[in-house]
Chains A and B, each alone.
Chain A
Amino acid sequence: MKGATVASRYGGVFVLAVIVAVLPWFLPNSFYFDVVINSGIAAIVCVGLNLLIGYAGQISLGHAGFFALGAYSSAILTDNLGWPPIVSLGSGLLVVALLAFAIARPILRLKGHYLAMATLGMGIIISIVLNQEVDLTGGPDGMPVSSFSLLGQEVDSELGWYWIVGGSLIITVWLALNLIDSAVGRALRAVHGSEVAAQVAGVDTTRYKILIFVVSAVLAAYAGSLFAHYTGFLTPSEGSFFRSIEFVTMVVLGGMASVFGSVIGAAILTALPQFLTVFHDYEHVMFGLVMMLTMIFMPKGLLPSLRNWINKRTS
């Protein structure tokens, strides 16, 4: 069974890498590239968020706040202070990590709906600040972000971004899978399964909850930073309550405690609105309906439900 976990870990990453490597030849134009790149960015957030929600069992309805903070700090440092983008990105991650660390302890003492409320409030506070600090962020009208450059090489082609985001996603997934299959990851999952039993096994549950909260916040911020440079323009809607809900929905839709589920969830929910445009006025009605029906009939999410179904069929 050692072989099994390792195989699923590297096998999955391999399949993902192959898909990422081959996909560009099937993308006819920049629109498809855009959808795929946005899916990838969302997937990075969702993999991190799934570590928090799906694996450690701590809900967050405010992760778009971290996404937006990463995006804006990168943008502000690059454009207002003239820092090199890569340095801005690093500093942005540090800022978000510190902030997440500072609020993690009081927030993660809460449970269930109270935790949901607190993280939601946190996200809303961040989004209001982004809206109000017009001089810094451009307020609701947004701010332009200069393009990303690495070692003097500017990334401005869609394909360039595709490789950056694709590579980041593969590494994120790989790291996440590594983490899950380590003592740290087992401790996290144990926190979800039974906090008291985890403590009895010697797990300092508070420490691990804080750790994973910070990790997921940093991943969200990283994705946000990529997004900022990729689109070249930021508005505070990136940090809104809706975006937070969207991320959580992606995680739950793909499947809790399923890293690849998060990738699939992110891809589906990014692409779905594009499909639903055929319903014109009924686009949102259909979107709400799809959300409800999927969760009613597949409460465990797409990938786990699919896996159960295949298992049932084969056995």
Chain B
Amino acid sequence: MSSELLQFLLSGITVGAIYALVGLGFSIIYNASHVINFAQGEFVMIGGMGTVFIASAGAPFPIAMIGAVLLAVVIGISLQKLAIERARHASVVTIIIITIGASIFLRGLAGVIWNRDFHSLPAFSGEQPIHVAGAVIVPQSLWILGVTVAVAVALFVFFNRTMIGKAMLGTAHNPFAAKLVGINTNNILILSFALAAALGAIGGILIAPMAPTHYQVGIMLGLKGFSAAIVGGLGSGPGAMVGGLLVGIAEALAAGYISSNYKDVVAFVIILLVLFFMPSGLFGSRASERV
């Protein structure tokens, strides 16, 4: 493998890991409620900006990070309770508009309450690049990959080893049966928003030392995360991970080999092609309509 290709892949995987975290959030909420939460990107912003501002108030970074994740979780739960739950019976488009409204609201609030400047977090463990076979990788990339893998493993354990995790999965697969075995599906819904918010916020904190955070950082990351979730197949956890990496790598390779002007176009064309040939994404369930 040429060092150039390796460099592109490393870049793609790093960015893709963040997309994957955001995409996972989309999938978890979709599973629990069949809602596409277009405010998912704002959790990323709250993660980064929240850490910056809690830290600037004097808290040590680890505390600030936890605080920011908690803040995102609280906002996620409020979003569910105050907006989504009240519009339970509305159409898909209506709910999409509600979540878009929520994202404009949150972004606006962040711009006013915090500010509209760019902010950086210090890298978790220095910025000394590491050389691998002619390519370089920064420690923060390793943090991103490590945490993403850890989150993936944690989610795997959560969904496969804990009762509450299994209950979430069960509710996603068959909400009717879930009610019959005594699962409080309302709580599962709240939990899914909390979890999705936390994942977004973690993504936002991880990326902030590499790319300065900003009150609008959630827009594009949210969009890319949505793409990841769709390409992977809505509702599929592994799908969102693979989708995120795919989008990230496609972007990096397109920028490297095709045209950096049109790298996003290449990424979206790939997404469209995937959908044309697999209308439910890579890992999506192919439900057939009953008549």
Q: Do A and B bind each other?
A: yes
Binary per-residue interface labels of chain B (84-108) against chain A in the complex, 1 for a CB within 8 Å, 0 otherwise: 0011011111111110111111111
Asked if B230 and A249 make an inter-chain contact with CB atoms under 8 angstroms apart, the answer reads: no
A202 in the interface, Cβ–Cβ < 8 Å?
no
A248 in the interface, Cβ–Cβ < 8 Å?
yes
Residues of B within 8 A of A282 (CB): 108, 112
Asked if A295 and B87 make an inter-chain contact with CB atoms under 8 angstroms apart, the answer reads: yes
Q: How far is the CA of A299 from the CA of B94 in the complex (A)?
A: 6
B139 in the interface, Cβ–Cβ < 8 Å?
no
Binary per-residue interface labels of chain A (100-119) against chain B in the complex, 1 for a CB within 8 Å, 0 otherwise: 00000011011111101110
Q: Which listed residue, A106, A110, A256, A288, touches B105 by the CB 8 Å rule?
A: A288
Segment touching B, from A14-22, A69-77, A121-129: A121-129
Given A132-B262, A285-B112, A288-B106: A114 touches B280 (CB 8 Å cut-off): yes
Given A109-B276, A285-B109: A128 touches B264 (CB 8 Å cut-off): yes
Q: How far is the CA of A249 from the CA of B107 in the complex (A)?
A: 18
Q: Is the interface of A mostly helix, strand, loop or mixed?
A: helix
Q: How far is the CA of A109 from the CA of B280 in the complex (A)?
A: 11
CB nearest to B88 among chain A residues: A299
CB nearest to A290 among chain B residues: B101
B275 in the interface, Cβ–Cβ < 8 Å?
yes
Asked if A114 and B281 make an inter-chain contact with CB atoms under 8 angstroms apart, the answer reads: yes
Segment touching A, from B11-19, B165-173, B265-273: B265-273
Asked if A296 and B86 make an inter-chain contact with CB atoms under 8 angstroms apart, the answer reads: yes
Interface residues on A, range: 35 or more
Q: Is the interface of B mostly helix, strand, loop or mixed?
A: helix
Question: Which of B204-236 touch A at CB < 8 Å?
Answer: 223, 226-227, 230, 234
B291 in the interface, Cβ–Cβ < 8 Å?
yes
Asked if A296 and B111 make an inter-chain contact with CB atoms under 8 angstroms apart, the answer reads: no
A59 in the interface, Cβ–Cβ < 8 Å?
yes
B83 in the interface, Cβ–Cβ < 8 Å?
yes
Question: Which of A234-264 touch B at CB < 8 Å?
Answer: 241, 245, 248-249, 252-253, 256
Q: How far is the CA of A114 from the CA of B272 in the complex (A)?
A: 10
A196 in the interface, Cβ–Cβ < 8 Å?
yes
Minimum C-beta distance from B274 to chain A (A): 10
Minimum C-beta distance from A46 to chain B (A): 13
A53 in the interface, Cβ–Cβ < 8 Å?
yes
Residues of A within 8 A of B108 (CB): 282-288
Interface residues on B, range: 35 or more
B36 in the interface, Cβ–Cβ < 8 Å?
yes
Q: How far is the CA of A128 from the CA of B87 in the complex (A)?
A: 34
Q: How far is the CA of A132 from the CA of B265 in the complex (A)?
A: 11
Q: How far is the CA of A293 from the CA of B206 in the complex (A)?
A: 33
Number of A-B contacts (CB under 8 A): 125
Residues of A within 8 A of B92 (CB): 59, 112-113
CB nearest to A245 among chain B residues: B100
Given A53-B93, A296-B98: A116 touches B36 (CB 8 Å cut-off): yes
Asked if A292 and B230 make an inter-chain contact with CB atoms under 8 angstroms apart, the answer reads: no
B261 in the interface, Cβ–Cβ < 8 Å?
yes
Asked if A196 and B291 make an inter-chain contact with CB atoms under 8 angstroms apart, the answer reads: yes
Asked if B36 and A299 make an inter-chain contact with CB atoms under 8 angstroms apart, the answer reads: no
Q: How far is the CA of A233 from the CA of B82 in the complex (A)?
A: 42
Minimum C-beta distance from B291 to chain A (A): 5
CB nearest to B26 among chain A residues: A113
Minimum C-beta distance from B79 to chain A (A): 10
Minimum C-beta distance from A96 to chain B (A): 18
Given A109-B279, A121-B227, A124-B264: A284 touches B93 (CB 8 Å cut-off): no
Given A109-B276, A114-B279: A125 touches B234 (CB 8 Å cut-off): no
Q: Which listed residue, A109, A114, A245, touches B230 by the CB 8 Å rule?
A: A114
Q: How far is the CA of A111 from the CA of B90 in the complex (A)?
A: 18
Q: How far is the CA of A116 from the CA of B101 in the complex (A)?
A: 17
Most chain A CB within 10 A, of B91, B262, B269, B281, is at B91
Residues of A within 8 A of B36 (CB): 113, 116
Asked if A249 and B97 make an inter-chain contact with CB atoms under 8 angstroms apart, the answer reads: yes
Asked if B104 and A284 make an inter-chain contact with CB atoms under 8 angstroms apart, the answer reads: yes
Asked if B98 and A284 make an inter-chain contact with CB atoms under 8 angstroms apart, the answer reads: no
Q: Which listed residue, B97, B275, B289, touches A295 by the CB 8 Å rule?
A: B97
Residues of A within 8 A of B234 (CB): 113-114
Q: How far is the CA of A74 from the CA of B93 in the complex (A)?
A: 31
Residues of B within 8 A of A116 (CB): 36, 96
Give A contacts to B, CB under 8 Å: 53, 59, 106-107, 109-114, 116-118, 120-122, 124-125, 128-129, 132, 196, 241, 245, 248-249, 252-253, 256, 281-292, 295-296, 299
Pairs A–B under 8 Å by Cβ, sample size 16: A53-B93, A59-B92, A109-B276, A114-B275, A118-B272, A121-B227, A125-B269, A128-B264, A253-B97, A284-B107, A288-B105, A289-B101, A291-B104, A292-B98, A299-B87, A299-B90
Other CB < 8 Å A-B pairs besides A125-B268, A253-B97, A288-B105, 10 of them?
A121-B227, A128-B262, A252-B93, A284-B104, A288-B103, A288-B104, A291-B97, A291-B100, A295-B94, A296-B87
The 9 closest A-B pairs by CB, nearest first: A288-B105, A291-B101, A284-B108, A288-B104, A299-B90, A292-B101, A285-B108, A121-B268, A117-B230
